[in-house]
Amino acid sequence: MSKINWNFKNTYFNLPESFKEDVNPVPVKNPDLVVLNESLASELNLDFSKIDKKELSKIFSGNVLPNGSNSIAQAYAGHQFGHFTMLGDGRAVLIGEHTTRANKKYDIQFKGSGKTAFSRNGDGRAALGPMLREYIISEAMSALNIPTTRSLAVVKTGENIQREKILQGAILTRVASSHIRVGTFQYIAARQKEDELQTLLDYTIDRHYPEIKNSNNKALDLLNLIIERQCNLVVNWMRVGFVHGVMNTDNMSISGETIDYGPCAFMDSYDPKTVFSSIDQMGRYAYCNQPVITKWNLARFAECLIPFIDKDKDRAIEIATETINTFEKIYEEKWINMMRNKLGLIGLDDKDKSLILDLLTWMHKKKVDYTNTFCHLMDQGPKKEKVFENNDFLDWRIRWKKRLLKNNNSSDKYINLMKNNNPMVIPRNHKVEEALIAAEDGDFNPLIKILGILEKPYLKQKGINDYQQTSPLGEEYKTFCGT
């Protein structure tokens, strides 16, 4: 197995007992590799090319653990739809931290790997459809240049699992710069042992934010850095119309990566209230609420840090509140700049905000496809659409063209700006479903095809018209948490 180049340097394993359970993946009956991400493997300096499929199936099911791995389930808590619960890896294990030649660390986690101490009433398993869905969408997000966990492989376990109906079991190999969540801090904070919280704080800074290692107020600096990262992340989601769907605090990563692709989906026609998750009846995690919830989650994170922000508790709360309240300003500025990029606007103009909002309002009113509107503005729309002959739109377009003149720059520059910020293709709900349904039937061709197309979302690709159309599934499309 030395040919693969695993290089495990496991640090979370060495943290106190309360942080995790030492547990191996539960072996599966008949593992069968479905997909392996060779380009990610090579980014990680891993080489699976000399390993046959049978062996790969054993590796990615956890039936055989690589040398140097120390398998653990991580403890965490979380606010789920606003309610605090003790959680933890109930169907996942972290087999170790692989370290690349550039000395970058990546958690290698098996999701769907069997019961752990945190499984509560669950079976510890995952189904093929949701694991492939996570694979498709996380890889699409990475190609869209959005921070995210990655997907290295999916195997079928050869075992059935019982959900509403019987489904094929599967295991996803998830790669993350770590799996430390807001919920990890909440779990340790709830134990009320300051030394443990100090350990987690120091560990997190050491792993993700070493630049503040020697600062005077590490906790406050960490909070500021994470506000910045999370703002960047959610602005990117808004840029491409991504609706995460289950922004519980346990699904918010301290590294600022998108994590946990359960009920997420991409918005078709522009509607700020877009929700896909079947369990999100109140729209808590609707498209337009994502920044609000990000701030709410960050406030829960700040609460965990209170003991370290100031010795005087009241003063610490005051400082934390002030810090959290910087969110709106930071977000607003990042959001407007992101929208400027989508419209190719260089420099600042007083009327930019109204120009942007007027386009969004028009899109909402006319139920126009979000992605394809920007493609249309780049003269790259997948088809001629009557809606763009609408007078209100044409008036808006004149205003936009006038504003472009103020760019004071070559048109190449604004066109490139637009091309780098507006995807030509996103994971359309009907095409994702089509690939998953075929895969469940043993036909992996549509899966391979969609993965290939989504690798290059900003390029004009031939023959992908079908993948650029507004999903006929429409707003009625419902997603599930994938348990």
- Binding of residue 343 to ligand AMP (CB under 6 A): no
Report angle CA 399, 358, 332 to the nearest 5 degrees: 110
- Binding of residue 251 to Mg ion (CB under 5 A): yes
Binding string, 250-269, against ligand AMP, x = CB under 6 A? xx--------x-x-------
Task: Please state the closest distance from residue 91 (CB atom) to ligand AMP, in A.
Answer: 4
250 is catalytic: yes
Cβ proximity to ligand AMP: between 78 and 96 the closer is 78
169: left (phi over 0), alpha (psi -120 to 50) or beta: beta
- Binding of residue 160 to ligand AMP (CB under 6 A): no
Task: Please state the closest distance from residue 112 (CB atom) to ligand AMP, in A.
Answer: 8
Judged by CB under 6 A, the residue of 5, 45, 100, 119 near ligand AMP is: 119
- Binding of residue 122 to ligand AMP (CB under 6 A): yes
Cβ proximity to ligand AMP: between 124 and 129 the closer is 124
Report angle CA 405, 411, 413 to the nearest 5 degrees: 115
Longest dimension (CA), the chain: 66
Name the residue number minimizing CB distance to Mg ion. 260
3-state secondary structure of 337: helix
Cβ proximity to Mg ion: between 63 and 74 the closer is 74
- Token pair in block for residue 52: 């046959």
For 358, list phi and psi in degrees, rounded to 5. -65, -35
Catalytic residue among 32, 89, 107, 250: 250
- Binding of residue 116 to Mg ion (CB under 5 A): no
Stretch that binds ligand AMP, among 30-38, 121-129, 350-358, 456-464 (CB under 6 A): 121-129
**Pair 71, 173: CB distance under 8 Å:** no
Q: 479 - beta bridge partners?
A: 277
Smallest CA-to-CA distance from 172 within 71, 31, 316 is with 31
For 103, list phi and psi in degrees, rounded to 5. 65, 30
Judged by CB under 6 A, the residue of 27, 66, 90, 283 near ligand AMP is: 90
Residue 88 binds: one of ligand AMP, Mg ion, none (C-beta under 5 to 8 A by kind)? ligand AMP
For 387, list phi and psi in degrees, rounded to 5. -60, -30
Angle between helices 182-190 and 290-309 (to 10 degrees): 40
Alpha helices in 182-240 (DSSP H): 182-190, 194-208, 218-240
Smallest CA-to-CA distance from 53 within 72, 69, 31, 74 is with 31
- Binding of residue 422 to Mg ion (CB under 5 A): no
Report angle CA 411, 456, 133 to the nearest 5 degrees: 135
Stretch that binds Mg ion, among 12-20, 41-49, 196-204, 253-261 (CB under 5 A): 253-261
Cβ proximity to ligand AMP: between 18 and 416 the closer is 18
Q: Where are the beta strands (DSSP E) in 2-48?
A: 20-22, 32-36
Task: Please state the closest distance from residue 376 (CB atom) to ligand AMP, in A.
Answer: 37
Task: Please state the closest distance from residue 169 (CB atom) to ligand AMP, in A.
Answer: 10
Contacts with Mg ion by CB under 5 A: the residue count is 2
Contacts with ligand AMP by CB under 6 A: the residue count is 17
Cβ proximity to ligand AMP: between 438 and 481 the closer is 481
CA dist 423 and 140 (Å) reads 11
Q: 170 - beta bridge partners?
A: 126, 156
**Pair 383, 458: CB distance under 8 Å:** no
Restricting to residues 422-481, name those near ligand AMP by CB under 6 A: 481
Residue 82 binds: one of Mg ion, ligand AMP, none (C-beta under 5 to 8 A by kind)? none
Residue 125 binds: one of Mg ion, ligand AMP, none (C-beta under 5 to 8 A by kind)? ligand AMP
Applying CB under 6 A, which residues contact ligand AMP? 87-91, 118-119, 122-125, 250-251, 260, 262, 481, 483
**Binding residues vs Mg ion (CB under 5 A):** 251, 260
Which residues are part of the catalytic machinery? 250
